[in-house]
Amino acid sequence: MTVTVAVDTTGADLGPAEVAEGAKLAASRADVRIVLFGPAAELRAVVDGVPGIGVVDAPLSIAKAPDPALAVRQNPDASIVRAIRAVSAGDADTFVVAGATGPALAAGLMNVRRAKGIHRPALALPLPTLGDPVTLVDVGANVEARPDHLVQFGFMGAALARTVLGVRRPRVALLSNGEEPTKGTADVVEVHRLLRDRLAGHPHIEWVGNVEGNDIASGRADVIVTDGFTGNVTLKVMEGVSQAVVSGVRQAATSNPRSMLGGLLLKPSLNRFKSSIDPEASGGAYLLGLRSLGVVPHGRFSREGFARAIVLAAQGHEGRVTDLIHADLEAVGALRRPPAAAARDAGAPAV
Amino acid sequence: MTVTVAVDTTGADLGPAEVAEGAKLAASRADVRIVLFGPAAELRAVVDGVPGIGVVDAPLSIAKAPDPALAVRQNPDASIVRAIRAVSAGDADTFVVAGATGPALAAGLMNVRRAKGIHRPALALPLPTLGDPVTLVDVGANVEARPDHLVQFGFMGAALARTVLGVRRPRVALLSNGEEPTKGTADVVEVHRLLRDRLAGHPHIEWVGNVEGNDIASGRADVIVTDGFTGNVTLKVMEGVSQAVVSGVRQAATSNPRSMLGGLLLKPSLNRFKSSIDPEASGGAYLLGLRSLGVVPHGRFSREGFARAIVLAAQGHEGRVTDLIHADLEAVGALRRPPAAAARDAGAPAV
């Protein structure tokens, strides 16, 4: 059955039309139905007559709202709220929200809601590296998270890697300040123990153990688990350092005539290198742990990145990523249980 | 008065003789007395007859011990323990320990001991950037730290910037996942409030507020405060990404004849860029909060880095960095008070 993707277009730096161009590309590449939410006239100018793409007029954007949860509650007509409600109403299977992580998380929690047995949804971001992408989870949905939450993040990331990124047997690791199981905060040490026990002899996930910050770019793991605070700092540090090094190389290549000639000769190879670590290739950040999958491409993406986000959202839905997370967590007893059941097992009277 | 620096030589990747070469350079550049601890024959072969440099035979190295605290307790004759004891015995003013952060911290705590009013010592690392170095504190001495500790780290970093790095009015920031004061874990939000209050209108420190991971390389602050877990991850991420980008550029520059010629022409400028972000320039990590200053140059440094560490350790001692930290903390009421005094003020009976 064809997957339907609800797409909010109003958070893109290049404007809603760029997202519409991405939708056109996606429709030409995959068997997918797309509904675009945003300023209808602008969107129709791009996609009018393209089969499989519908438009809903929802010009109000809350992508840059300072308090996303408040903005979602106060603006039921905002493009992002309407796109996500299309999913909770059953009119679409999955959603793509360009450039608005906070509102996507807030609207997703309020409307699509947490999947059964999930403590907290998380944001998983496949990071471009010289080799295959490495998925960091959580990159900011939960600034504070308990060990049980981080265990679930590991399984969420693994399910994403299998269904969307094509990793047959994902290698899952925990970010810490040393490889030894005793390294890290008390919570990190506890998560290490829990993940190790739950992944021992696992049929389709491999436990790597702790990795350090420099292992993210080295490709020792496919999925790296961390709390949303550390994950967000890590992500921003990576962006900052990459930009600094690239700008340093660019300065070097324009510092004198000899270097300029060198830079010119080197340019095609450098461009190939640059496109091999393209952040748009993986479609953006994946919102996992809700009843439906959501994808949040970065606001500064081009049509190519938005197309990838739409195609991969459909692929994740077809691969039943949400069911897979549930089944994997159930198999190792890591689902959140209703408080009454947990209390009963602990010998306390059920209330 | 000439400063005396006790130097442990046994943790350097290039061997004790390389540290001795660094000592020779340092002695030629600054008015400093140096005592080298390590295998005497090897050290004397380099520094014999050089005025101002002494050698103590202490060939036992615990630089790579898996449990540093245990190794320090069990090996009173280890080079690092003897170097640090020279400081606690008053035979030297400050210490430099090549390539052994854990043992330096353990031996420092046991022998030199915490300075009065300090909760916890911290490791401050001036990171090379395209502009002036940015000091990250803590980079790993305290995997878990309370808000009061992080407040002290801010003042420690500022004192280091003033005395050793030549920053007249250091700009101090707090690492978080967003610039707003409400961003971050509950602890980070509390540290923001405490630092803001204590630095409001401060005579020689400027409060920047929260910065994000990408601001480390951008130079918005001279000192960035974080806990040792996040600091260590940040540091390793920076190393990993720099290496990955540099190796990507190198691959690009050897991928075909045209690119190789380009790389060759560009090389002198790239080397200038590389040396402008030299990690050895700042001497290494600074152990702050003990009764004396300690410097831990990286084990893979060359003689140039060890020389810098020795000269800057002497400079920090001459600049009275330890006294400055105490005075600054006292002025804003952020010194740790004896439990009895704290309890009395809170209305509880003193015990």
CB contact under 8 A, B241 and A237: yes
Contact A240 B262 (CB under 8 A): no
Judge: B144–A185 Cβ closer than 8 Å, yes or no. Answer: yes
The CB density around residue A320, as the number of other CB atoms within 10 Å, is 14
Q: B251 contacts in A (CB within 8 Å)?
A: 273
DSSP for A159-209, written as a single string? HHHHHTS--SS-EEEEE-SSSSTT-S-HHHHHHHHHHHHHHTT-SS-EEEE
Q: Using CB atoms, pick whichever of A177, A188, A217 lies closest to residue B240.
A: A217
Nearest by CB to residue B213, choosing from A218, A240, A264, is A240
pLDDT in tens, A46-77: 999 999 999 999 999 999 888 999 999 999 99
Contacts of A240 in chain B (CB under 8 A): 213-218
- Over residues B131-148, the pLDDT tens digits come to 889 999 999 999 999 999
Residue A10, in any domain of the structure: yes
Q: Mean pLDDT in chain A?
A: 92
Interface contact flag, B213 A235, Cβ < 8 Å: yes
Q: What integer pLDDT is reported at residue B343 of this predicted model?
A: 63
- Which strand (E) or helix (H) includes residue A137? strand A134-137
Dihedral angle over CA of B57, B60, B63, B65, nearest 10:
-160
User: Residue B54 is part of which domain span?
Assistant: 1-113+290-319
pLDDT at residue A345, rounded to an integer? 61
Do strands B223-225 and B134-137 pair parallel, antiparallel, or not at all (unpaired)?
parallel
What is the Cα–Cα distance from A216 to B185, expressed in whole angstroms?
A: 23
Share of chain B above pLDDT 70, in %: 96
CA B227-B232-B235 angle, to 5 degrees, is 120
State which of A169-173, A243-247, B264-268 shows the largest mean pLDDT.
Answer: A169-173
Computed from CA positions of residues A193, A194, A200, A206, in that sequence, does the dihedral angle turn out positive or negative? negative
SS3 content of chain B, % helix, strand, coil (to 5): 45, 15, 40
For residue B266, list chain A residues with Cβ-Cβ distance below 8 A. 252-253, 259, 262-263, 266
> A127 in a domain, yes or no?
no
- Out of B233, B251, B263, the one facing A234 most closely (by C-beta) is B233
Which residue in chain A has the smallest CA separation from B141?
A177
**Chain A: nearest CA to B201, how far in angstroms?**
28
B258 vs A10: which has the higher pLDDT: A10
Residue B244 has pLDDT above 50, yes or no: yes
Mean pLDDT of all residues in A342-349: 58
Residue of chain B whose Cα is closest to the Cα of A189: B143
Contacts of A270 (CB under 8 A, 6+ apart): A249, B249, B252
Average pLDDT over residues B104-112: 94
- Which residue has 């990404």 as its token pair? B241
Using the beta-carbon criterion (under 8 Å), do B243 and A269 form an inter-chain contact? no
Q: Is the Cβ pair B240, A277 closer than 8 Å?
A: no
Judged by CB atoms closer than 8 Å, whether chains meet at B229 and A184 is answered as yes
SS3 content of chain A, % helix, strand, coil (to 5): 45, 15, 40
- For an interface test with B, the pick among A64, A177, A190, A258 (most B C-beta atoms closer than 10 Å) comes out as A177
The pair of three-digit structure tokens given for residue B273, joined into one six-digit string: 């860029």
Confidence of residue B276 (pLDDT cuts 50, 70, 90): confident
Q: Is the pLDDT of residue B252 over 90?
A: no
List the single residue in A143, A212, A240 with the smallest CB-CB distance to B218: A240
Q: Is residue B103 part of a domain?
A: yes
- How far is A166 from B119, CA to CA, in rounded Å? 49
- Sorted by sequence, the CB contacts under 8 Å of residue A238 that are 6+ apart come out as A127, A216, A217, B213, B237, B241
Q: What is the pLDDT of residue B246?
A: 80
In angstroms, what separates the C-alpha of B143 from chain A's closest C-alpha? Answer: 6
Which pair of tokens denotes residue A294? Answer: 């959501």
Q: Other CB atoms closer than 10 Å to residue B139's CB: what's the count?
A: 25
Question: Cα A118 from chain centroid?
Answer: 17
What pLDDT score does B351 carry?
A: 43
What CA–CA distance (Å, rounded) separates B120 from B143?
11
Taking CA–CA distances from A262, the nearest residue in chain B reads: B262
pLDDT of amino acid B209? 97
Band the pLDDT of A351: cuts 50, 70, 90: very low
Q: pLDDT at residue A245 above 90?
A: no
For residue A90, what are the contacts with CB-CB under 8 A and spacing of at least 6? none
Average pLDDT over residues B193-202: 96
| Residue A12 covered by a domain | yes
Nearest-Cα residue of chain A relative to residue B129: A244
The interface predicted TM-score (ipTM) is 0.89
The per-residue pLDDT for range B156-193, each reduced to its tens digit, is: 999 999 999 999 999 999 999 999 999 999 999 999 99
| In contact, A228 and A142? CB cutoff 8 Å | yes
Half-sphere exposure in the Cβ direction for A322 (13 Å, CA): 22
Lowest mean per-residue pLDDT among A247-251, B96-100, B159-163, B174-178: A247-251
Is B309 part of any domain?
Answer: yes
Cβ atoms B135, B160 nearer than 8 A: yes
* Nearest CA-CA distance, residue A247 and chain B, Å: 9
**Alpha carbons B265 and B263: distance in angstroms, whole number:** 5
Give percent of chain A above pLDDT 70: 96
Peptide bond into B197 cis (omega under 30): no
CA nearest neighbour of B168 among B206, B135, B201: B206
pLDDT band at B242 (very low <50, low <70, confident <90, very high): confident
Helix axes B228-252, A228-252, angle to 10 degrees: 40
Is the C-alpha dihedral spanning B78, B84, B90, B91 positive or negative? positive
Is the pLDDT score of B350 beyond 50?
no
CATH number for the domain spanning B298: value is 3.40.718.10
- Asked if residue B225 belongs to a domain, the reply is no
- Disruptive mutation site among A225, A265, A272, A273 for chain B (greatest number of B CBs within 10 Å): A265
Indicate whether B101 belongs to any domain: yes
Distance CA B14, CA B150 (A): 35
Is A175 a member of any domain? no
- The answer to whether the Cβ–Cβ distance between A261 and B265 falls below 8 Å is yes
| Mean predicted confidence (pLDDT) in B278-303 | 93
Confidence band, pLDDT 50/70/90 cuts, at residue A43 = very high
Domain total in chain A: 1
**Cα separation, A242 vs B241, whole angstroms:** 7
Q: What is the mean pLDDT of residues A91-104?
A: 94
Asked if B273 and A251 come within 8 Å (Cβ–Cβ), the reply is yes
Question: Can you tell me the mean pLDDT for B274-294?
Answer: 89
Q: What is the DSSP letter of B135?
A: E
Handedness of CA A271, A276, A281, A286 (dihedral sign): negative
Q: What mean pLDDT is predicted for residues A271-300?
A: 89
Mean pLDDT of chain B: 92
Token couple for A62: 């809350």
